């Protein structure tokens, strides 16, 4: 078929049969933490963040955990020059071109769960996977604060991203955020695929 090549897998790396795919990475939501009870909190917080990002959930009142935990496939696009940030406390250099964010603050008021230590644990794992695939796709990506205080399973430590959001404050939060800018000359799409166990994220160049 036109525009396709062979597919190969190596661990959680992936070479797409679609030549428009710039990069793809994945990890298991069953391997976020060694203790299952804690892992389940990480998993639910990741899936809830995806639901906010997809637009299925806009506030705590919208949360149906049965639907949040279902498999999902969706995407969002960035035109050349457009940026994504993980939350709304944003460094000045990115404020003028942000077109997409998760629209969540990862706290109790937004419906996020606690493992007994922090509310929202797990969202850093999602940000780290996004950062990893963005860097491999050649996009301009900036994570001011590394997650080097704790490992993130299946993600190399250099791609660990620390996320913190305090509504109404731009100081600490803006430095614990993820910024991705489409510095390419074509529109790109971030494609999220959760199959019930594994979450994959890929970056595609769109044919438009």
Q: What is the pLDDT of residues 2-55, one digit of tens each?
A: 233 333 333 333 334 466 999 999 999 999 999 999 999 999 999 999 999 999
3-class secondary structure, 110: helix
Average model confidence (pLDDT) across the chain: 90
Chain segment 151-198, per-residue pLDDT in tens: 999 999 999 999 999 776 657 889 999 999 999 999 999 999 999 999
8 Å CB contact between 25 and 103: no
Q: How many angstroms separate the CA atoms of 54 and 67, rounded?
A: 12
The helix or strand, by DSSP H or E, that contains position 76, with its residue range, turns out to be strand 72-78
Quick one: average pLDDT of 111-133? 96
pLDDT of residue 19: 67
Q: How many angstroms separate the CA atoms of 80 and 63, rounded?
A: 33
For the entire predicted model, the pTM comes to 0.89
pLDDT of residue 171: 72
Residue 27 — φ and ψ, nearest 5°? -150, 165
Dihedral sign (CA 102, 163, 198, 188): positive
pLDDT of residue 208: 58
């Amino acid at each position: 078929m036109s525009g396709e090549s062979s597919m190969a897998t190596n661990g959680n790396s992936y070479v797409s049969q679609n030549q428009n795919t710039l990069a793809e990475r994945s990890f298991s939501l069953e391997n976020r933490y060694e203790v299952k009870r804690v892992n389940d909190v990480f998993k639910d917080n990741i899936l809830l963040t995806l639901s906010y990002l997809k637009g299925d959930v806009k506030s705590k009142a919208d949360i149906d955990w049965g639907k949040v935990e279902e498999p999902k496939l969706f995407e969002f696009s960035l035109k050349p020059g457009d940026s994504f940030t993980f939350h709304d406390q944003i460094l000045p250099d990115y404020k003028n071109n942000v077109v997409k964010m998760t629209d969540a603050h990862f706290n109790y008021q937004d419906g996020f769960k606690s493992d007994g230590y922090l509310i929202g644990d797990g969202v850093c794992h999602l940000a780290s996977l996004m950062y990893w695939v963005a860097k491999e796709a050649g996009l301009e990506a900036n994570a001011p604060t590394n997650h080097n205080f704790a490992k993130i399973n299946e993600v190399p430590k250099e791609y660990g991203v620390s996320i913190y959001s305090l509504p109404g404050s731009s100081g600490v939060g803006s430095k614990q955020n993820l910024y991705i800018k489409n510095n390419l000359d074509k529109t790109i799409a971030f494609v999220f695929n959760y199959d019930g166990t594994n979450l994959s994220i890929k970056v595609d160049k769109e044919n438009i």
